[in-house]
Amino acid sequence: MSDSEVTRQGLRGTRPDREALIGVAAGRDGEQPPGGDTEFTSYYGRPVINSPVWESPDIPGYLFLGGLAGAASLLASGADLTRRPELARVAKAGAFGGAALSVAALVHDLGKPGRFLNMLRVFKVTSPMSVGSWLLAGFTPLAGISTVSAWTGRAPRWGATATAGAAALGPAVAAYTAALVSDTAVPAWHDGYREMPFVFVGSGATAAGGLGLLAAPAAQAAPARNMATFGVATELTSGQWMEHRLGMVAEPYSSGRSGRYMRAGKVLSVVGLAGALLGRGNRLVNALSGATLLAASAATRWGVFHAGTASADDPKYTVVPQRERLRRGEQARSGDAHTAPPDRTH
Amino acid sequence: MATNSHALYGEADPATLGGYDEPPPRMGFFTDTSVCIGCKACEVACKEWNAIPEDGLVFTGMSYDNSEGLGADTWRHVAFIEQRKPLAMQDPGVQHEDVDVLALASQGSGTPPEQARITPTTPGEPGQMRWLMASDVCKHCTHAACLDVCPTGSLFRTEFGTVVVQEDICNGCGYCIPACPYGVIDQRQEDGRAWKCTLCYDRLSGGMEPACAKACPTDSIQFGPLDELRERARGRVDQLVEAGETGARLYGEDPHDGVGGDGAFFLLMDEPEVYGFPPDPVVTTRDLPAMWRCVGAAALTLAATAAASFAGAMFGRRP
Ligand code: SF4
Ligand code: SF4
């Protein structure tokens, strides 16, 4: 059907197809080239694996808040033990708030949010999401009791027990999300499984330290500053090592949108840490540095999230390393054939 | 409780691993792409039988392929690849005058390769175009990443060794989707849950073959006990290679591959990635024990970090 009109000025709204060329003259425009690149083959450049359907800000937020909560629970329990009540209150609230919001973000991302309790239908160690759901199911109420007790002053013994309980689960809460993203076929996530947990706990420590600097009085902020220092150092070194080890698969960590997030994370963490170390004692500088460190941790999570999506969307990251692996396997086999005489009995 | 954590890779019988005491033989598909004619009867039959919603009315420019790839609403997908490689002579002007149809009919349905003008085994001139077609489907992996990572137990292993989603349990967490090394399972946008091929679990339970295999006019899709299919496929690939089609190869048939072998495997005419398959897929959970160890080490590091942070504050200047 044609939408063209005849006017005094001639035809209007004719479709460009009327001038379409055919055969060789048309070239192959309008057709998809069957392969994408010269160095590898793909099916019309289409991704091999299906990209995560997880969405931003839900899932990067879930990763960030979980890390914050886990590390903050450790800060809370340490503050209790060393009698820093202000820092303890802040950290407890961070642990509870982080965990609760992390769960909320996960539930919001579900295709069927009303069925979120199905997460606790089974326990499967093969599913880091199942393990994480059980961890959060234990951690969140403990952090909640600890927070309520700290802010109302009621039931101090329950509060102390809950704080200790949350701190016992805290490291696992901060770290399991690394297994969660790595346990996929997404190249930039899976292949980085060795360093990812360190990037994630580092990022969590940066966030919790940042929160302490932001909200606790300067007189009690020293452990938070130390934790942020450890966090930034761990996050940066393990991230660097991961990018180095992964080779071409790590490209999304330094290019495109994910690369910009990762760079922002690095810059913000260095700036925030410098502020925290140089401006010690100054309440305002502490607060600004703390906020910067929180933003740094979030930027890293967003970067990791988008790097995964980018590496899933480009077949190159799936095909090239697998081809390479096959080629090496073949070489190794033919290497064996040289050393051991081939079996010619049949 | 459905965990099979001690058997995350290698050769295995999935139904036994899944906890069935005396399972029936493992069932699967052998998709022989050398005889696929790209009719898409499998796509249609699958949609009809399983009542799958429409998957987009688009024109992709990817040869005759307008369903693009497997997903929540495409459980069989026929790929079309145009190549400048000799396979069959594509000769539109076949003369029929001197053909004795009755003699052909009496000889049976199959034309012997040496008499056929157009077969995968009759090489054309170099520079000729060839057209590859392949019907893709869920591989029903021996070690299925989708099933391993599903936190609700919605994905389960059937007694036939296949992998099925229980839609009344799936909460749409989406974990299975990036876990599948083949890009099979996906989320249905309008309903939020994950969907994929069930290998017609309902039909199998009733003693029938899956709809796609039933509909395939050339027997490119063959259904049966996996052992039998593997044996037949090996014979077929030998036959093709012997006849000069050296590109013929099996894909997903080897129980020692990265997923422990596919329940649905293929005979391909070119490298797997040409068809959109990963060349060397590995089930992600093979590395899960190592991942948990790294997570444990990182968690301990964090705990030590926290302790050191407070110890440091004790010795350092206060504030
Ligand atoms: S091909 Fe993908 S969806 Fe099918 S069983 Fe294997 S992992 Fe699961
Ligand atoms: S989306 Fe459904 S089937 Fe897939 S892992 Fe989550 S609960 Fe399991």
> Residue A281's pLDDT is what?
75
Domain that holds residue A184: 58-312
- Tell me: the pLDDT tens digits for A26-66? 444 445 555 444 478 899 999 999 999 999 999 999 999 99
Alpha carbon of B261 to ligand 2 centroid (Å): 23
Torsion over CA of A336, A341, A343 and A344, rounded to 10 degrees? Answer: 140
The verdict on residue A260 lying in a domain is yes
The verdict on residue A280 lying in a domain is yes
CATH 3.40.190.10 fits B2-285, yes or no: no
Other beta carbons less than 10 A from residue B116's beta carbon? 13
If you measure CA to CA, which chain A residue comes closest to B188? A111
Contact A181, A308 (CB under 8 A): yes
Alpha carbon of B151 to ligand 2 centroid (Å): 7
Number of domains in chain A: 1
pLDDT tens digits for chain B (319 residues)? Answer: 344 444 788 888 999 999 999 999 999 999 999 999 999 999 999 999 999 999 988 888 899 999 999 999 999 999 999 887 655 444 444 556 677 777 767 766 566 655 555 445 444 455 567 889 999 999 999 999 999 999 999 999 999 999 999 999 999 999 999 999 999 999 999 999 999 999 999 999 999 999 999 999 999 999 999 999 999 999 999 999 998 888 999 999 999 999 999 999 999 999 999 999 999 999 999 999 999 999 999 999 999 999 999 999 987 654 4
In CATH, what number is assigned to the domain containing residue A81?
A: 1.20.1630.10
Atom of ligand 1 nearest to the CA of B163: 5
Contact B78, B134 (CB under 8 A): yes
**Are the Cβ atoms of B278 and A184 closer than 8 angstroms?**
no
- Residue with structure tokens 């199911």? A137
| ipTM of the complex model | 0.87
Percent of the residues in chain B that have a pLDDT greater than 90, as a whole number: 73
- Among B291, B294, B300, the residue with its CB nearest the CB of A171 is B300
The verdict on residue A35 lying in a domain is no
Give A333's pLDDT tier (boundaries 50, 70, 90).
confident
The verdict on residue A42 lying in a domain is no
Q: Residue A233 pLDDT > 70, yes or no?
A: yes
Give A15's pLDDT tier (boundaries 50, 70, 90).
low
The chain-wide mean pLDDT, for chain B, equals: 88
Lookup: tokens for B103? 């003699």
Of the candidates B150, B189, B190, the one whose C-alpha atom is nearest the C-alpha of residue B171 is: B150
The verdict on residue A240 lying in a domain is yes
The verdict on residue A49 lying in a domain is no
**Euclidean distance between the first and final Cα of chain A, in Å?**
68
The verdict on residue A44 lying in a domain is no
**Are the Cβ atoms of B1 and A124 closer than 8 angstroms?**
yes
Query: Ligand 1 pocket by C-beta < 6 Å: which residues?
Result: B 138-141, 144-146, 163, 180, 182, 184-185, 196
The verdict on residue A340 lying in a domain is no
3-state secondary structure of A127: coil
CA nearest ligand 1 atom 8, residue: B146
* Residues A138-143, mean pLDDT to the nearest whole number: 98
> Residue A43's pLDDT is what?
94
**Within B156-252, where are the H helices?**
176-179, 201-205, 211-215, 226-242
Ligand 2 test: best mutation among B3, B146, B166, B176, most atoms within 8 Å of CB? B176
Q: Residue A5 pLDDT > 80, yes or no?
A: no
Q: Residue A256 pLDDT > 90, yes or no?
A: yes
Alpha carbon of B164 to ligand 1 centroid (Å): 9
